[in-house]
Amino acid sequence: MPARPTLILASTSRYRRTLLERLSLPFEAVAPQVDETREPDEPPADMVLRLATAKATEVASRFPEALVIGSDQCAALGTDVLGKPGSHEKARVQLGRLSGQRVTFHTGLCLIDSAGGREWCDVVPFTVHMRDLEPDEIERYLRADRPYDCAGSFKSEGLGISLFRSMEGEDPTALVGLPLIRLCTRLREAGFTIPPGDS
């Protein structure tokens, strides 16, 4: 039986690396060289699909024998894309705006098998319904979790869960940035055994 190809995650995100490690598959992480600027009036779901595909395609061009995973995510309030706050003040303003609102996370996923001439691309949405948030609890939360590198200004895998009223979607890992349920399906179609065996 031929050896399975090298698996590469086209990302430098520590959150995506941690998620992919849960599958117990050996992989490498490689930084994609992609301009992530949103196109004018581009719908959020279209943007993440385009960028996930661009990331996977760019890395696959450098590692043509590998299977390459590309992913991109944005948080959206309606059609308004929410960026990563980058600072305490911007996160405080962003969470204040999200108080009581419905926030949809669109996560694009692309798996490219250049050697086999195959490609799988998906968008996996996940929606968070925020509670009505008081200014003091926003402040307490930000000081505890410091989610300044997270779109939406919260970490769902951390204390950010306390800000939610409810969640809806197929795959909670999509909210963190890599939809593992959909990825497992695509990896099996590409020939991987998941959960992996001893061989």
Residue 195 lies in a domain: no
72, 113, 145, 171: the catalytic one is 72
How far is the C-alpha of 47 from the C-alpha of 41, rounded, in Å? 10
Q: What is the CATH number of the domain that holds 106?
A: 3.90.950.10
Q: Report if residue 198 sits inside a domain.
A: no
In a domain? residue 199: no
The beta-strand segments (E) located in the chain are: 7-9, 28-29, 67-77, 80-82, 102-113, 118-130, 164-169
- Please state the domain count of the chain: 1
Given a cut of 50, whether residue 156 has pLDDT beyond it is yes
Cα separation values, 90 from 15, 40, 84, 85, Å = 21, 23, 9, 5
pLDDT, mean over the chain: 93
47-60: pLDDT as tens digits:
999 999 999 999 99
pTM for the whole structure: 0.90
pLDDT value at 139 more than 80: yes
Is there a domain that residue 112 lies in? yes
Within a domain: 196:
no
Q: Is 41 a catalytic residue?
A: no
Q: Domain range spanning residue 53?
A: 7-189
Spatial CA neighbour of 141 closest among 76, 85, 81: 85
Residue 197 lies in a domain: no
Q: Which of 15, 7, 57 is nearest to 32 (CA)?
A: 57
82 and 74 in contact (C-beta within 8 Å)? yes
Domain assignment present for 17:
yes
For 25-84, the pLDDT digits (tens) are 999 999 999 999 999 999 999 999 999 999 999 999 999 999 999 999 999 998 899 988
CB atoms < 10 A from the CB of 43, how many?
A: 14
